[in-house]
Amino acid sequence: MSDILKPETPEQVLEAVQWAASEQVPLELRGAGSKAGLGRPMDGLKCLDLSGLTGINYYEPAELVMSAAAATPMADVERALAEKNQQLAFEPPDMGRLLGGVPGLATLGGTLACNLAGPRRVKAGAARDHFLGFQAVSGRGEVFKSGSRVVKNVTGFDLSKLIAGSHGTLAVITEATVKVVPTPEKVRTVLIRWAQDGIYDHGGVKAMNDAMATPHEVSGAAHLPAALAKHSAVDFVAETGRAITALRVEGPGPSVEHRCRELRQLLGKYGATEELHSANSKVLWKEIRDVSYFSHEQERVIWRLSVPPAEGSRVALKILEGNPGEALYDWAGGLIWLALKPREDALAEVVRRHVNEAGGHATLFRAPAEVRRAVSVFHPLDPAVQAITKRIKEGFDPNGILNPGRMYEGM
């Protein structure tokens, strides 16, 4: 039998999983493979190729709801939404190039299974917050569903929140339903240009937190040190030679103009402020969303840190003391992308010590397979949480056939 099972329908997915469960054959779930390098390596497993499950099954712009097969490319989803002047509020990132592949392959199911969200998370929430429902096959070989095709729904326990971020270890999603929103009329970005010399990470995080504390509905807050800003495709950002703090404002034209004016007045104390209009704003926030600044040196190790926003620069700079690397700050400092010089231990002990002190968590997002075998990719679980996680895994997948070990060894 081939090492690849490629179902074309949800019924065939059910048959494949039932066979694997009865024979206790572990499966590696794969859509387009854009995130194959994310998580612990799974070597030598039979692949359940879901790429045949594509297509938008239901889209009601007036109801702000869309349902699509799991392997539907995000590009197709976004194109269909753009035709109706709508979008996904959680701003799904395309991590293909960051993970050593090509862009444009991300799928709806993979994005939700990994709970990936872009810069707008500070205002709109995570992917799981827009995940209304799904149909799936459990590791028991049973079809089940949760949620529905309405924005307001009460159906008991919200399994969508559990499946989002499970990285395919609990169930095979065959169809997903998401909430959509209107595209804002206007997008502008207020930029703070910091003085040419010195490191301004602390100041950038302080400015972002000041902006987020206002009533001006900032929908993106990121800080680019000068070494990263120079890689931007936006000339104004790249040519300054300075660190840049970016604050995005979206909405009706007059409102955006008023809020940008107020933010510039508030933040002028930190340095010269400028504005990017819609076209350049979209380019800049796509770069930040996809972490494109770290795509050009694939040998570097990439960490994704989640910490209290006010602690962002302190945590990053502590880790970088004596350790060559660069930091990109998103989510007002709450999300830190670290690119570090390659090491066999990925500097895991240092990274997690400082992240733990801040009450956050760290994910080894990109590293060679041998490093991801030796180092815990996802943040280690304390014994109580590990026991709960193991019971959940056993409830959905008692034989451990779905992406075994993808997140944690033995689960």
Q: What is the mean predicted confidence (pLDDT) over 173-200?
A: 90
Domain boundary among 290, 324, 351: 290
Here the CATH number for the domain that contains residue 116 is 3.30.465.10
53 and 175, same structural domain? yes
327 and 216, same structural domain? no
In a domain, 34, yes or no: no
132 and 77, same structural domain? yes
In a domain, 405, yes or no: no
The two structure tokens encoding residue 365: 């997002």
312 and 196, same structural domain? no
Query: What backbone phi and psi angles, to 5 degrees, belong to 108?
Result: -65, -50
Here the CATH number for the domain that contains residue 333 is 3.30.70.600
272 and 307, same structural domain? no
Give me the pLDDT at residue 193, please. 93
Render pLDDT for 334-375 as a digit per residue (tens, 0 to 9): 999 999 999 999 999 999 999 999 999 999 999 999 999 999
Q: What is the mean predicted confidence (pLDDT) over 210-221?
A: 98
- The CB-side HSE value for 136 (13 A sphere, CA atoms) comes to 28
What's the CA gap between 218 and 247, in Å, rounded?
6
Here the CATH number for the domain that contains residue 191 is 3.30.70.2190
Is the backbone of residue 156 left (phi > 0), alpha (psi -120 to 50) or beta? left
What's the CA gap between 411 and 395, in Å, rounded?
12
What's the CA gap between 1 and 104, in Å, rounded?
31
pLDDT at 189 over 80: yes
What's the CA gap between 195 and 296, in Å, rounded?
26
Percentage of the chain beyond pLDDT 70 is 96
Give me the pLDDT at residue 240, please. 86
234 and 254, same structural domain? yes
Give me the pLDDT at residue 9, please. 98
61 and 143, same structural domain? yes
In a domain, 177, yes or no: yes
Percentage of the chain beyond pLDDT 90 is 93
92 and 56, same structural domain? yes
In a domain, 100, yes or no: yes
In a domain, 407, yes or no: no
Give me the pLDDT at residue 411, please. 87
220 and 120, same structural domain? no
Q: What is the mean predicted confidence (pLDDT) over 141-167?
A: 79
pLDDT at 137 over 70: yes
Contact yes or no for 46/27 (Cβ under 8 A)? yes
Domain boundary among 229, 259, 290: 290
pLDDT at 12 over 70: yes
In a domain, 382, yes or no: no
133 and 58, same structural domain? yes
Domain range for 57: 49-182
Give me the pLDDT at residue 158, please. 81
Domain boundary among 138, 155, 182: 182
- The CB-side HSE value for 22 (13 A sphere, CA atoms) comes to 7
pTM score of the predicted model:
0.95
What's the CA gap between 166 and 169, in Å, rounded?
6
Give me the pLDDT at residue 296, please. 87
The two structure tokens encoding residue 339: 């690119």
pLDDT at 244 over 80: yes
Q: Rounded mean pLDDT of the chain?
A: 95
Burial-class residue 226 by CB neighbours within 10 Å (0-12, 13-18, 19+). middle
In a domain, 271, yes or no: yes
194 and 172, same structural domain? no
Render pLDDT for 323-337 as a digit per residue (tens, 0 to 9): 999 999 999 999 999
Give me the pLDDT at residue 150, please. 55
What's the CA gap between 32 and 401, in Å, rounded?
20
53 and 178, same structural domain? yes
Contact yes or no for 92/111 (Cβ under 8 A)? yes
In a domain, 18, yes or no: no
Give me the pLDDT at residue 196, please. 62
What is the number of domains present in the chain? 3
Q: What is the mean predicted confidence (pLDDT) over 168-181?
A: 98
